[in-house]
Structure 1
């Protein structure tokens, strides 16, 4: 039977093993004067960005921490990372150039439909306004004043038409942007898949 002291010693050794193993590590870095420094306590914060090595008790490199990238390198790495993410997303959406073309056709058909509806609504409002203006002209020809509610209806129709015209411009701009975006997607998918667009 083992004694409690023996068991406590084993437990204590188990707890201290990571600490002792870490204490045996050396950190090698270059200081401000260009001198190689070995330190058991770690790398001072001002030197971490230059990179360093972690050595075991025999002096062998067990880990190497590379230098931090410069601001330009960091921006390039971030741009590359963003591009890779965008490419991955694009390839999840489209398996081929034909998929891009089908998506473009669907989107343009949707926009054409909305543009057609908006133009139809705009024409209907113009027809209503023409009828109301004819009624207003009849009142004036008869020597009567134009009723306020008739003038208010004409003004409302003008506002609705202006709103629809703004919507129409937005949809047409969206159509141009969609064509451009799909052209870019088609080109990039072709590059990624090694196909000709």
Structure 2
């Protein structure tokens, strides 16, 4: 009479043995209804972003996979990473706020030199235009028609002056941007150096 009970017990143990022997890990996650689920198959893809835990065969947590950051958190993390990179570059470039001042002075001197060159070219274009207009006036006073090539040269000088004026405005804008950028770099560097132990 005891044999059938023993056989049944052996059968149950025999069926459970492969499960226990193959039991490596359990995955614990929360589904859409807020129910905590334990699974040997892993975490379904739709729940991975919520985070989950991996448990060993004794039910102890061996790994915690945190929830994926939200879009706002990702933006903040990217901004923080970019800021850290910018700060590191700033500390490589300058050792003191005075270094920033010297770099700004060099940049402004470079831009001022470019502006001076363009202003010289502008004055030269104005002079050439004046000479060409004098030649055109001589033709008109003599009762001759002004040659087309002379009119084209005058138009070219006027167009060149417009281009040179735009260049001057562009360099002046670059000068303002440099002042603002270097001022921001100086302030951030002072902040970083002040924060150092």
Question: For this structure pair, what is the TM-score category when the shorter chain's length is used for normalisation?
Answer: 0.7 to 0.9
> 4+ runs of 1 displaced by more than 4 Å?
20-23
Shift of residue 66, structure 1, vs aligned partner: 0.7
Name stretches of at least 5 consecutive residues in structure 1 with no aligned partner: 1-19
* Aligned counterpart, 2:137: 137
Question: 1:22 & 1:112 partners in 2: Cα distance?
Answer: 77
Q: TM-score if structure 1 supplies the norm length?
A: 0.82
* Aligned counterpart, 2:41: 41
Question: 1:163 & 1:21 partners in 2: Cα distance?
Answer: 82
Cα distance 1:94–1:23, how it changes in 2: closer, same or farther (>3 A)?
farther
Query: Which is worse superposed, 71-80 or 101-110?
Result: 71-80
Aligned length: 176
Select the structure of larger CA radius of gyration. 2
* Aligned counterpart, 2:85: 85
* Aligned counterpart, 2:71: 71
Shift of residue 33, structure 1, vs aligned partner: 2.2
* Aligned counterpart, 1:28: 28
* Aligned counterpart, 1:10: none
Q: What SS is found at the alignment partner of 1:38?
A: strand
* Aligned counterpart, 2:128: 128
Q: TM-score if structure 2 supplies the norm length?
A: 0.82
Residue-by-residue CA offset, 1:114-157 (whole Å, 9 max, x unaligned) = 00000001001111111111121122222222222222221111
CA RMSD for the aligned pairs? 2.0
Name stretches of at least 5 consecutive residues in structure 2 with no aligned partner: 1-19
